[in-house]
């Protein structure tokens, strides 16, 4: 890791970020999912969405998100490819209205990881492997992070968000973290 950038990730800088509050280090990992258009995989629409380059007229669904400016720190594609949009030392715009352990504005103290997928489509083996490797790297870099401080978007925005959804296998992911940590 160089500064807040993971060397193994393809860097795709997003303009959608801001500074973290003074002396605020990442203390929470938030797992999300996204597919654009919904249930379509393998294209570059997510990348273009996070960099404000999406053609809003390209697909009817895009009218629903027209003008929205969001980002995450990372995207893990179905192939396991890792993209990074925002330096981990900066505040990405991924959590929205949110709260963790009574503390609001989770963007201030979290790192957002998007998985290319939906709530209901199983995630790929390559995604679980990449997510476990990324998580281990982030935990080793940021002392406030730990396996106990990993949540889904649904956990910090209940009733508003459902991702990563029932298709995400939390037990499998946590087992891979344990296996990687003990090797």
Q: Which residues are catalytic?
A: 114
On the question of a cis peptide bond just before residue 112, with omega within 30 degrees of 0, the verdict is no
CB within 8 Å of 10: residues ≥ 6 apart: 81, 82, 83, 84
């Amino acid at each position: 890791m160089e500064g807040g950038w993971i060397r193994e990730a393809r860097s795709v800088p997003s303009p959608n970020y801001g500074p973290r509050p003074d002396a605020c280090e990442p203390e929470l990992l938030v797992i999300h999912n996204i597919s654009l258009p919904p249930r379509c995989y393998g294209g570059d629409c997510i990348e273009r969405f996070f960099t404000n380059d999406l053609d809003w007229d390209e697909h009817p669904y895009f009218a629903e998100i027209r003008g929205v400016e969001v980002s995450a720190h990372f995207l893990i594609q179905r192939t396991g490819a890792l993209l990074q949009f925002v330096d981990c030392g900066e505040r990405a715009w991924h959590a929205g209205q949110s709260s963790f352990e009574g503390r609001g504005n989770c963007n201030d103290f979290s790192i957002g990881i998007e998985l290319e997928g939906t709530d209901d489509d199983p995630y790929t083996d390559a995604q679980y492997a990449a997510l476990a490797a990324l998580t281990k790297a982030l935990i080793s870099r940021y002392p406030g992070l730990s396996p106990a401080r990993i949540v889904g978007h649904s956990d910090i925005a209940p009733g508003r968000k459902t991702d990563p959804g029932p298709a995400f296998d939390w037990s499998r992911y946590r087992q891979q973290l344990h296996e990687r940590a003990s090797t």
